[in-house]
A and B are shown apart, each in its own frame.
Chain A
Amino acid sequence: MKLLQATGRYYLAFSLLLFVLGGWIVYLALSYFIDIETDERLMDAKPALQFQLTEMDSLPAILVISDDVIEISPLPDLEEYEHFSDTTFWDPIEKEFEPYRKFTFHSTIKGQPYRIALSHTKLDSEALMMTSLFAVLGILLLLLLAINLFNRYLSLQLWRPFYRTIQQIRGFTFDKGEPLTPPQTRIEEFEVLNNALELMTTKVLRDYRSLKQFTENASHEIQTPLAIIRSKVELLIQREGRDEKELQAIQQIQEAASRLSKLNSSLLLLARIENRQYTDTHELSLKALIEEKLDQLEPLISAKNLSVHTRLAEVSRNMDSTLAEVLLNNLLINAIKHNLPDGQIEISLQQGQLRVRNTGTPLTGSPEGLFERFRKGAEAGPSLGLGLAIVKEICGIYGFDAGYEYKEGWHTLLISWAG
């Protein structure tokens, strides 16, 4: 539920309560004043009635004069009594009970004590009261409605900067590297929120950048000692007359160093891609690049005796040349590495998509995890499992889609893009 809706509902409930309560109070007040008024009239009529009754020869039990009803009943003895009450009489014309105000008093007429009840119809005053009540309630209703609507409009206006801020938060990404800068507002609370957000995002971005920078620097610094280890090992293996155990140890050092070195350069590459450091964007012919790459990887292809079929259209994309090279390299190496001896590779390039297919045994794990880091195929040996993660990272930068499919002995990697 929106805050506006919630407040709106409370307002509405409160207004309804106020409306009912107000109506009730107005009703009570009106009827109170009308009763007092009627009572005064009845009281005023008392001496005249007494006089009139004295003038009459005989007293009937009930007497109806226009809107008044007079009931007379004899009393055994006289005691002072005056009482006002509400009552109803049957109206034979309207066929309904109608409200009357009744004034009951004791009086002595011609020496005989009587209980006299003088009733006056409240029909006129009732109508007046209802009219006034509805008028008052009508005005009240209109007022409440107007206030509600106005409040709603006002809230919408007042909360606008808040929604603008929310919109900005939604659009916030680390990639752009810019802190939030919500528009200024007159409302102090929102201004405080905006300032806090601006401060927070600036700090978060700074921390993120320094972390990324650290990763990159660390990878870079690791390269030098690695280069030293590798060069020393290369010198060590030149000496003749070593026994087998020594050679085995040296070889293992070399393999470990080599692996560390590859891992490091892959991580460095990933860090740099994430840091958006490859921005040397040109229009590149993917066809030419693929042909160049195939030429470079020919030693790997011919060693496995793979046959490569290409169907390459002239397709150009705006890409950083290093990233384009890495992307194609990793795709092709993947197709070579996970291929069977004497297997096949099919590369088709057309507007909007690049498809690399290769023969191979089915995937051992789930295809979803294929593009994850440090993902390794069961058969692939000491592979790093970063090749396709890098592919995915590069695709992410250019908004390409990377998909995988295995069907009837063929692995298919499909890179597609719009336009």
Chain B
Amino acid sequence: MSKKLVIFLMSGRETPELAAAAAQGGADLIELGFPFSDPLADGPVIRRAAERALSEGMRTKACLECLAEIRGRVQVPLVPFVYSALLEAYGHERFVADAASAGASAILVPDLPVDSHPELRRIQLVAPTSTDERIRLAAETTDGWLYLVTLTGTTGARAELSSALAGLAERARRLAPPELPLYAGFGISTPEQARAAAEIADGVIVGSRAIEVAEDGPEQLRRYVSSLRTAIDAAR
């Protein structure tokens, strides 16, 4: 089974075109950032991207419109990455309904731990600090696949792939239902890191570096995603 490549993009006017380029480059899924003013899980690159998006007026409704526009251009699954503050304001049920009708296949909430709001179906995240009990609960309740946060820290490129990933993935395999896909994200930016992560997990999520490359336009993004694709496909 080929490994999955997830590309994170921040909502914005140019995002539909960027999403199309990412899909052409070989992305299997696009995570769409809904910008929040105080994003605790994010490092400087995504934080700055969120600030820019907010200054362009990318509020929740505009982001949902962006999602729908992307849906019209690409076939791959789309997943909003949305902080709980936005859900609180918009309403959980209303958001889930509106995101689904705009074309989302699931949602991801980085600051809603697995035992909060269990009624809200979402892709769950686990971290190297998570206990076995919490990994099991997250794996049982997650929506489609489980997000392995490879490191203790915020989003953003790192020099090396986190050494914590292997142990986390091993625990998750042992605790999760069989066949549940495990995708690794945070701190993965180079093709080499993506390949190494793909040898451990079933999918790889790339965010901050994709945001930086996207600033140079869709063609640059397509080439970058394509280099990640090639690296991941070479994974054992």
Real complex partners, A and B? no
Instruction: List residues of chain B with CB under 8 Å of any chain A CB.
Output: none
Instruction: List residues of chain A with CB under 8 Å of any chain B CB.
Output: none
